[in-house]
Amino acid sequence: MPLLLTVITFLPLLSVAALLLLKADDHVWIRRIALAASIAEFLISLFLLRGFDASDSRYQFEELHQWIGQAIHYHMGVDGISLFLVLLTTFLTPLAILCSWESIHEHPKGFFTALLILETGMIGVFVSIDLFLFFVFWEVMLIPMYFIIGMWGHERRIYAAVKFILYTMLGSILMLVAILWLYNLTGTFDLQDIQAKLQAGIVSLPPSTELLLFLAFFFAFAIKVPLFPFHTWLPDAHTEAPTAGSVILAGVMLKLGTYGMLRFCLPLFPDAAHRMAPAIGVLAIIGIVYGALVATVQHDLKRLVAYTSVSHLGFVVLGLFAFNTVSIQGAIYQMLNHGISTGALFLGVGMLYDRRHTHEIKEFGGLATPMPVLMSFFLFISLSSLALPPLNGFIGEFLILIGTFQSHHAWAAWATSGAVLSAIYLLWAYQRVALGEITVEKNRTLQDASTRERIILATMAVMILFMGIASPLFTRRMAASTDNVLRQMDRPQNALRHPDSRPGRHFVALPAPQPYPAPVTVAERRARP
Amino acid sequence: MISAEQITNLHRLAPEIVLCIFGIIVMFIDPFVKPSGKRALGWLSFFGALIALASVRIVASNPGAAYSDLISADGFSIFVHVVVIVATALAILGSLDYLDQEDIQRGEYYALVLFAAAGMGILAGANELVTAFIGLEMSSISTYVLVGFRRRSLKSNEASLKYFLLGSFATAFFLYGVAMVYGATGSTRIDAIQSFLQSWQATHSGPSALAIVGLALIFVGLGFKVVAAPFQVYGPDVYEGAPTPVTALLSSAPKAATFAVMLRIFSVAFGSASHYWFWAIWVCAVLTMLVGNLAALVQTNVKRMLAYSSIAHAGYILVAFAAGTAVGTAALLFYLAAYVLMKVGAFLVVTHLGQQGEKRVEIRDYAGLGMKQPMLAACFSLFLLSLLGLPATGGFLGKFFAFQSALDLRQPAFVWLVVIAAVNSVIGAYYYLRVIIVMYFSEPSGDYVPTAVAPALTFALVLAAAGTLYLGLFPSRVLLMAKSAADSLALH
């Protein structure tokens, strides 16, 4: 289907135009149109599944047009890595809109506008193959999130919004320098071309250059993930954001970081990735354990859920940097799981907040009595988040641990402790919130989940179960692309190195940078098989 | 009898001639116009600027040197002319209602704006140092008066005097430098200096010391005009004191024209001696970015903040300047085009929001603007985000091309320069976003009564905003023009 990706990417932006035509106080229709647009978007994005060829590791649904000068193209495509992340985005956005149905009273038009622009930005990041285009979406995405936190957040929203945007911008500006440098060396912004040139040895990077480029990209993504010790913006941003903001932030935006690592850091700079892997693995493990421990002692429920992200994303990074098919597939799967489970946790916490306007755990207690349905869902989601078989979280974590164990026994052992700790903090939190006697009188009369909330939570629960049982449906489509990444990491030059050699010790002398290769025109590219 | 050569000379100077004629007409009929009708003189000058803009086409179809090589009507000059005249036209549109509101609607205001623009045009096309000096003085003297145009305001008077004293000092430096260069090379013509230095370097091992000292003095004079550190001290005071539409003009068009003449002097005439001035520009760029951004962080006055931001931007432009290549020049020209639109746009928003007597120019006065005047706030946000360098705006691509051209040279000095510039643009993000925070995230203050934006200003804002977005999304055309403009310079 031609133009499918363009349609998916820009449909939310187009629906913003429709929103802007409405009067600012027409709350009902603003919500309806936003929801309708996001559901339509989800349904259209399902066409991706139908046309996707699981055996093909290349980009599919490709679109290629000249944009700026000879070097910058409007180049889009999806492969097994980005396919489900796009679907995750289109799946979570309607739920985020639905959960804001009654909680956003001020300027709903601005809120839904920001949410839809955000969706365009996130999808754009996942489907861009041109580095310039990627960067444009990457940065543009920040602004709506900044507004969502800053305008509709809680008490310390401005502090959180500024911290969020400055952290991310600091990371991304260095990435911009790296992108320019890479262009300078290869003469193109096109990821496929850069990959091909590096792969074939037409352009070879001296080890020090490769390391710097790797670090510049990695730094941007590590802040986004966030990897310990770059995580300090996350608890603030999550705690202060409105529910929909947290859902999108945890559900999709954090994945942009791990996606970026998998898409850029590993295949473009494999030697540097190998060299840095020990350090990154250790940081990931620190993140897993530290995130879990800090989550345990939180007295703010939302902050607790935020810290679980630090822990869970540590698993993902660990899986990526264990460099084998199983662990990387597990990592991608865990990205999706985390999006669903943590998104659902934030939805649940948001529903509690809508009733009591607090996140303090001590304000709750015994909630299962007045709200059996809501609390059952909450338990179910918590179990998914702590990776209980046969729910979705189990599959991802298990794949990551198996894969990591193959290459690093110690990493896997440490990471497993994180899995144990997750049971402690989540179940303990559930116990304090839902079980026992009702400690605060106000809680006795709380309403159980409304129909709207039941729809939201049931959708999530079905998805959790489905992803737990039917995981081959997903991993089957990822396999070709993950293998492809590993193949790309295995450069011919590397063959000169002993496979078990210590990183960094056996680099062969690489030739000096070549002059600019002639830019490839669109016509030539299209003619290529 | 007028010879064919004289006619071609006139063609090549068409925009300046048009601007001056309209300036003279405005001055001439000013005494015969009733005070209530002075506004029409503004429209007349706007019309004049449009004709000047159209007359750039005449120059484009008659490229070459005019008046015994004093003026060079090349692609480079044409590009800068367009930038300067567009900025002037936007500033005139912004002045119309401002002058009414401040009760200083006078014909000479518009005439001075036109004369300043003509001076900048000469500066952009100057192929000879004394001609450049004339252009510099024409634009400077006009702007000295414009800065003090709010006669009854102390601040405006102070700014004018400060600008005049320091400005004449700076032009003296420039003139002194020109004299030394003339002494060393025997000519004041750019191409003659270029060939002299090239042949000098072929036969001598060291530099021509006198010429380099002269260049240093010229650098001081021009560094002052583009408000580069360490010559920036006067900038914020003058920008704050001047009537806001004049600030809009001052922060955009003269900078563009001065950068143009700087390029001719440094990259063309002294192109073969680039290793002597490279580090001076490097240090100056780093200082300018740091001073501009760090000082802007703590400002509470919007005009001062934007003034420091324009200092920071001069630093980014110097990054492309330091590269000294054709790619760098193209990047610089593109940057100028984007910069002029967003800067004039931002100052025009401030013009409107200042209200009578410019009493609302503190950042906190903008609280809740996002709710009270959503379109104006959105416009201002767009300009701020473009100044910040957010993708999809012209400001981003300006920075992008500037960084790219510097990295193109593959030298550590440039890599560091770009890294410093990149970190600086994150520092910049803080203060631009702070204004957006106040506009959108703060509660509106009670006593503010929004006034409707006048049609002329609306028109100017829409043009600037559309241009900013156009340069951000579809830059190919302008970039191509900038490239061919850069190629028309005989770079080393």
How close, in Å, is residue A140 to chain B by CA atoms? 6
Dihedral angle computed from the Cα positions of residues B134, B135, B140 and B141, in that order, rounded to the nearest 10 degrees: 50
DSSP secondary-structure letter at A128? Answer: B
Hey, which residues does B71 pair with through a beta bridge? B66, B126
Question: Taking CB atoms and an 8 Å limit, are B475 and A68 in contact across chains?
Answer: yes
pLDDT band at B340 (very low <50, low <70, confident <90, very high): very high
- Per cent of chain A over pLDDT 70 is 93
The answer to whether the Cβ–Cβ distance between A162 and B403 falls below 8 Å is no
Q: Which of B390, B407, B418 sits opposite A143 (nearest CB)?
A: B390
pLDDT at A448: 81
Percent of chain B whose predicted confidence (pLDDT) is above 90: 58
User: Rounded distance, CA B79 to CA B73, Å?
Assistant: 10
pLDDT at position B121: 94
Chain B residues near residue A179 by CB distance under 8 angstroms: none
Q: Is A373 in the B-facing interface, judged by CB distances under 8 Å?
A: no
pLDDT band at A493 (very low <50, low <70, confident <90, very high): low
Phi, psi of B491 (to 5 degrees): -70, 155
The answer to whether A127 and A135 have CB atoms below 8 angstroms apart is no
Closest CB to B391: pick one of A135, A157, A162.
A135
User: How high is the pLDDT of residue B256?
Assistant: 93
The pLDDT of residue A390:
83
Helix (H) or strand (E) holding A68: strand A60-68
A136 contacts B410? CB cut-off 8 A = no
Among B391, B404, B441, select the one facing A180 at the smallest CB separation. Answer: B404
Q: Mind listing the pLDDT tens digit for each residue in B139-194? A: 999 999 999 999 888 989 999 999 999 999 999 999 999 999 999 998 999 989 99
Band the pLDDT of A511: cuts 50, 70, 90. very low
Higher pLDDT, B186 or A104: B186
Q: Which residues of A touch B407 (CB under 8 A)?
A: 177, 180-181, 184
Q: Report CB contact under 8 Å: A170, B423.
A: yes
The alpha carbon of residue B319 is apart from the nearest alpha carbon of chain A, in Å, by 14
Residue A51, Cβ neighbours under 10 Å: how many? 11
| Test the B interface: residue of A117, A176, A185, A208 with most B CBs within 10 Å | A176
- pLDDT tens track for B227-247: 998 888 898 999 999 999 999
* Residue A151, pLDDT score: 83
User: Does pLDDT of B397 surpass 70?
Assistant: yes
Helix runs in B389-411, H state only: 394-407
Q: Are B292 and B308 in contact (CB under 8 A)?
A: yes
Interval A252-281 mean pLDDT: 89
Contacts 24+ apart (CB under 8 A), A100-105: A100/A242, A100/A243, A100/A244, A101/A31, A101/A452, A102/A354, A102/A452, A103/A242, A103/A243, A103/A350, A103/A353, A103/A354, A104/A152, A104/A242, A104/A244
Find out whether the peptide bond into A226 is cis, omega within 30 degrees of 0: yes
- For residue B136, the model assigns a pLDDT of 93
Confidence at residue A506, expressed as pLDDT on a 0 to 100 scale: 38
* Residue A170 touches partner B, C-beta closer than 8 Å: yes
pLDDT in tens, A422-459: 888 888 888 888 888 888 777 777 788 788 888 888 99
**Residue A334 CB partners (closer than 8 Å, separation 6+):** A312, A315, A316, A319, A393, A396, A397, A399, A400
Q: HEC profile for B236-280?
A: HHHHHHCCHHHHHHHHHHHHHHHHHHHHHHHHHHCHHHHHHHHHH
pLDDT tens for B253-294 read: 999 999 999 999 998 888 888 888 888 999 999 999 999 999
Residue A501 in this model has a pLDDT that exceeds 70: no
ipTM of predicted complex: 0.87
Query: pLDDT value at position A505?
Result: 37
CA–CA dist B376, B380 (Å, integer): 6
Determine whether the interchain pair A177/B392 forms a contact, defined as Cβ–Cβ distance below 8 Å. no
Helix (H) or strand (E) run with residue A135 in it: helix A131-140
Entry pTM: 0.88
Going from the C-alpha of B96 to that of each of A342, A373, A440, the distances in angstroms are 56, 65, 65
Does B371 contact A146 at a Cβ distance shorter than 8 Å? no
| Greatest mean pLDDT range, A201-210, A476-485, B111-120 | B111-120
Is B441's CB within 8 Å of A151's CB?
yes
**Ranges of each domain in chain A:** 269-491
Looking up tokens 């490279």 gives B278
- A158 interaction partners in chain B (CB closer than 8 Å): 437, 441
Q: Where are the domains of chain B?
A: 4-487
* For residue B230, cis peptide bond before it (omega within 30 degrees of 0): yes
* pLDDT tens-place string over residues A228-256: 888 888 888 888 888 888 899 888 989 99
In the predicted model, what is the mean pLDDT of residues A201-229?
87
Chain A contact set for B404 (CB, 8 A): 180, 183-184
Task: Please give the pLDDT value at position A368.
Answer: 78
pLDDT at A451: 86
Q: Does A305 touch chain B (CB under 8 A)?
A: no
Which pLDDT value is given to residue B88? 95
- Within an 8 Å CB–CB cutoff, is residue A293 touching chain B? no
pLDDT-derived band of residue B248, with 50, 70 and 90 as boundaries? very high
Average pLDDT score over residue span A465-472: 87
